[in-house]
Structure 1
Amino acid sequence: MAVESVNPTPEDLQKKVYFLLEQLQLMARELPPKYQQRVPCELLSGLANALLNDTIFEIVKGLMEIQHVTEKHLFQQRLQLINKHSIEMQDMLEHTSDPTARQKQRILLQQKHKEELKHTDMKLVLQLDQKVSDQQVTLEKAGVPGFFVTNNPLDVKLQMYLLDFILRLSKNPRNGK
């Protein structure tokens, strides 16, 4: 009966790197062609080596949980504003009896609500962009290849694919062992 050692041997680590690299290469082949060319073998190899440290998996899972909580919170803020707008509209309709005044009030209120919602949406998008930037900084500091602060849509999409790869590998029961 073999007892698995606490400290993996160099051979175990090498097997795990090969397994992770093979899995990453398979995933990269599933990407649209314009992204496949942006994922060189060196990037996948560096990522496989970085994933030898299970801490990277934990960091990514933690960032994902934070993002979900943030998105939920921002969505709730938006819903509260929409609800406030509905109450304001209802209140105006109940307290304005003249049809002409009511129509003018409705148009003004709709314009005001549209502007408020647009302003709120812009603020929410900025907060989400900041969250992406925070994640990029965290992953770059953790030494995860392919991560750096950028707002270039192609780079951000590629980083999203890399995060997906990491999450998929974290769910693999074998995970190179």
Structure 2
Amino acid sequence: MAGYREMYGEPSDITLQQERHYYLLSQLQNLVKDLPSSCQQRLSYTILSDLALALIDGTVFEIVQGLLEIQHLTEKNLYNQRIKLHAEHRALKQDLLKKHKEAQQSCKAHNLPILRNTQQKELEALEQRIKEEQQMMDEKIVLELDQKVIDQQSTLEKAGVSGFYVTTNPQELTLQMNLLELILKLQQKETGISNKYS
């Protein structure tokens, strides 16, 4: 009798995995309909099926969530660095202008044009320095964000997520962003379903 139950009574792990795969694939196909048609065309049945397979055990959802948290922390950190630099620059400029005003007040009238000329050059030099430092900061931010994208691509590729590999091709990046969007939307649906029954 036990043999009969094993064969026919309870679904096997393989059957459960197949059902989960079909369910995830169906959900992905429904979510793809919300994407622009140009993106829909690039997301073939094979890509979606492979993605559904990668999502079966939930590990990829956890990986994507972890990558998202790292990205948000990185963006927040870079934003704070830029704000701090901006505040430092504002303070430098205010200090210089205060110093200039004090110098002008204690300057003899006949030396004022020379002083103002010198101060104008000092101010221009400071503004140039500020501009260069801001540009360097912006370049650093772009490089760091580019590196995060590469790290994410590499992590998802190693996790076996279809469509992910290290690339800078804008079309492929758009496809990868669409795949991530699908994963996140599906994760939200899954979380909503599990919360409903908890």
Same fold by TM-score greater than 0.5: yes
1:174 equivalent to 2:193? Answer yes
* 2:99 paired residue number: 95
The residue identity in structure 2 corresponding to 1:21 is L
The residue identity in structure 2 corresponding to 1:26 is N
Distance across 1 between alignment mates of 2:168 and 2:147: 10
SS at match of 2:42: coil
Distance across 2 between alignment mates of 1:42 and 1:174: 26
Shift of 1:8: 6.4
* 1:123 paired residue number: 140
Deviation above 6 Å: which 4+ runs of structure 1?
none
Distance across 2 between alignment mates of 1:90 and 1:168: 48
For 1:35, which of 32, 39, 44 is the aligned residue? 39
Identity %: 47
Distance across 1 between alignment mates of 2:37 and 2:124: 48
* 1:161 paired residue number: 178
* 1:73 paired residue number: 77
The residue identity in structure 2 corresponding to 1:129 is D
SS at match of 1:143: coil
1:21-47 deviations in Å (ceiling 9; x for gaps): 111112222222222221111000000
The residue identity in structure 2 corresponding to 1:13 is Q
Higher Cα radius of gyration: 2
* 1:3 paired residue number: none
Shift of 1:99: 3.7
- Whose helix fraction is larger, Structure 1's or Structure 2's? 2
Task: Could you tell me which runs of 5 or more consecutive residues in structure 2 were left unpaired when the two chains were aligned.
Answer: 1-10, 105-114
1:111 equivalent to 2:115? Answer no
SS at match of 1:121: helix
Cα gap change, 1:147 to 1:8, in 2 (>3 Å): farther
1:48 equivalent to 2:52? Answer yes
The residue identity in structure 2 corresponding to 1:142 is A
TM-score by length of 2: 0.79
Q: Which has the higher contact order (CA 8 A, sep 6+)?
A: 1
Distance across 1 between alignment mates of 2:156 and 2:18: 23
Task: Could you tell me which runs of 5 or more consecutive residues in structure 1 were left unpaired when the two chains were aligned.
Answer: 1-6
When the two structures are aligned, how many residues end up with a matched partner? 169
Distance across 2 between alignment mates of 1:168 and 1:65: 16
For 2:165, which of 148, 159, 163 is the aligned residue? 148
1:26 equivalent to 2:30? Answer yes
The residue identity in structure 2 corresponding to 1:42 is T
